[in-house]
Chain A
Amino acid sequence: MEVSYFPGCTLKQTARNFEISAISSCKLLGLDLTELSRWNCCGTVYSLSTDDSMHHLAPIRNLIRVQEDGFKEVVTLCSMCYNTLKQANELMKKEPDRLKKMNDFMYREEDYIPDVEVYHLVTYIKERLGYEKVRELVKQPLTGLKVAVYYGCLLLRPDSIKLDDRENPMIMEDLLTALGAEIIDYPFSNECCGSYHTLGQKEIVLNRTNKLITEARRDGADVLVLSCPECDFNLDHRQKDTLEKYPNFQTMPVLYFTQLLNIALGGNLEDCGFELNYIDPLPVLREKGIIK
């Protein structure tokens, strides 16, 4: 089944492992992720000022591209893209006057008719295939792998776009359970990773990473699983600086959920792009007998 797919800029750069593992695992699920023929940055951050339409142009223009390509649904992977596209779309559905103004401004484009739906891949898999079907397709169960699921902020807030219950989300846990992994109780799954502070005030992020990874370890996790390139940068790649700052810190592999999905469905290891993960997940996956 062809599914219109919005990658976002980061998935073409530092998070290529997220994209290739998603494309590969979706193929194994029978979903053909079809990249939009034209697209631009999602807008990165959803603008909260009520009188600002300018910053909604980027997400809405992408939804026009979905229309142009003849789709009614678009799937995305990055939490930030998901959040921005979905919120801007909800705004257009709610405020026809603003939509009209924006359509007038974008007179070179076809009008946006706000009936495109924005999906995060995990919701799409759940709603379109169902986790039972996923379970049937598993070739290499993740037996024995203890996983802490981390959502961060953008998949759960605000209410209008949340993937699941804000305080007790289970949607990713359920998927990983279907893959055979053992989910550990991880109370920090919806805490902030420090986000953009990673640029200006790195110390804040190191503090967060130390706390979030150390807690996951204490709760018994082998790996942390997430769906956001920004969280991934902070929680995986920043482990280097975290270790320098906190000498007792113990590192832990951090993976995109699609990387585990790809392994469980019997996809190629190369399509996981593990060389882009800072803490190498291969040793623990080997130790558990999940990969050779």
Chain B
Amino acid sequence: MSAELKQSGDKPNLPPDTKMIEVFIMGKRYKVPATLTIQKAIEWAGFQFLRGCGCRGGICGACPTIYRTKDDYKLKIGLACQTVVEDGMYLVQLPFVPAQKSEYHIEDERPTIAAIEKHYPETFRCVQCNTCTKACPMDIEVMQYIAEIIKGDYKKAAELSSSCIMCGMCAARCPAELQQFNVAMFVRRMYGRHVLPKAEHLQKRVKEINENKYIPFLDELGEISHDELVERYKSREWQPEPYEDPNWQPKETKYL
């Protein structure tokens, strides 16, 4: 089958023994290479993304896809760019989920229960069914962050929701019609602005940049040869992970 395919655009040049499987994209049957992600399989099938695709790296949240696999009644959700196709998969992308975004001035609001009641009152309708958690392609404990919001624990809610990519799947599945990702964004903003201490080192660094401290260093880099640039790039210093020592310093301290 692969031999018959005309190669065009980005279509990979498949080896002859490539395993092909069947998937159903919006109900229509397609044969696609078994190793593709859903995103590439959709493109392989001939679709071109105008929406529903951004980073291709699991970060932007543009490509959530709802699917069912063979012989399993469970509705699954994954990011098209991160999920590999399976034989007999039914799928559809849902690139956007309608949700209201409350407008406010960050300085006028405080991290309180009252602020949630004002901006996202539907949050309190949650029945703790956990459908949102099941839906989340980022494996976030969505129900739990909603529970923390209802308790008024902004810290826990902000931490639990921090890897949300705003794909909207939780909101699409919620029987109580919450808008989880937007209320969580509100919580993280409040927490960042009014609770967390200001990052003093950042302010210091911004000041230094504004005072042109780094211009001479950049000029210097502009002058050196290509080979030296490569050499310096290769020998650049990193703080060893997992960044436990707060007093770590590189050997060369003149850039600090």
Question: Which A residues fall within an 8 A CB radius of B?
Answer: 9, 12-13, 38-41, 43, 54-55, 57-58, 61, 105-106, 108-109
Contacts and interface: CB of A to CB of B under 8 A. Distances in A.
Given A13-B151, A108-B130, 8 more contacts: A9-B150, A9-B151, A39-B147, A40-B143, A40-B144, A41-B147, A54-B129, A55-B127
Given A13-B151, A40-B150, A108 B129 contact: no
A58 B144 contact: no
B130 A41 contact: no
Contact of B152 (A13, A43, A105, A108): A13
Interface string B183-219: 0000000000000000000000000000000000000
A61 B128 contact: yes
A58 B127 contact: yes
A39 B153 CA distance: 12
Contact of B133 (A9, A54, A108): A108
B76 to A, nearest CB: 13
B130 A106 contact: yes
Contacts, number: 41
17 contacts: A9-B150, A12-B151, A12-B153, A13-B151, A39-B147, A40-B128, A40-B144, A40-B147, A40-B150, A41-B150, A41-B151, A54-B127, A57-B128, A57-B130, A61-B130, A106-B130, A108-B134
B113 A13 contact: yes
Contact of B175 (A9, A39, A54): A54
Chain A interface SS verdict (over half): loop
Interface string B110-144: 00010000000000001111100110000000011
A106 B128 CA distance: 10
A38 B143 CA distance: 11
A12 B153 CA distance: 8
Nearest to A60: B128
Interface in B45-70: none
Nearest to B148: A40
Nearest to A9: B151
Contacts of B143: 40
Interface string B164-190: 000000000001000000000000000
